[in-house]
Amino acid sequence: MGITARPNGIRRRSRSRAEGQSLVEFALVLTPLFLILLGIVQFGFIFNAYITITNATREAAREASIYVYDQTLTQGQNDAARNAEVRTTFQESLNLLTPNAPYFTTTGTWTQSGDTFTNGDLTVTYTLPDDVTDSEPRTGETVTVQARYHQDLLIPFISALLPKDGNGRLVLTGEVTMVIN
């Protein structure tokens, strides 16, 4: 009839070229997919750290709000003891995050500026609302606990897109305000 069969060599060459083309296409698609996967993993680490910092800050603020005022001590001594409880509670609530330098820094000394106490990455502020009378145990005042955590960025592509501190870490901040009972 006039139909001729193709030689086997031509068929192999076509298949070989198609396989090579598929390999190149796969390599081109795999690179962005791999970057997306790494981005998902990095943002998972960031989100986990953010949730942990928020929870630890909430626990520390709760500890400050229920602190039992010692009548035998001065307000300054009670503030120092309350702030020490805040720091201890925060560090204990970090769970799997590293509670010390370079990720989270505190020392034994609090720096006071008015009613704001700062200790490295931890800040405790006492605020007297307009409708509350100033009292020695600070009852009715609000306490604000702010904490900063320096999270490592493992993926260079992602770290180029996010703001970083001087050491190349992403600063995550948690802040909670509660009323002192």
Quick check: is 3 in a domain?
Answer: no
pLDDT tens digit sequence for 80-113: 999 999 999 999 999 999 999 899 999 889 999 9
| Nearest partner of 61 among 174, 173, 143, 147, judged by Cα | 143
Quick check: is 143 in a domain?
Answer: yes
CA dihedral 124, 126, 129, 132 (to 10 degrees): 140
Question: How many domains, in total, are found in the chain?
Answer: 1
Quick check: is 5 in a domain?
Answer: no
Quick check: is 47 in a domain?
Answer: yes
Quick check: is 2 in a domain?
Answer: no
Report, in angstroms and rounded to the nearest whole number, the Rg of the chain calculated over CA atoms: 29
Domain that holds residue 169: 11-179
pLDDT tens digit sequence for 2-54: 665 555 555 555 566 667 888 899 999 999 999 899 999 999 999 999 999 99
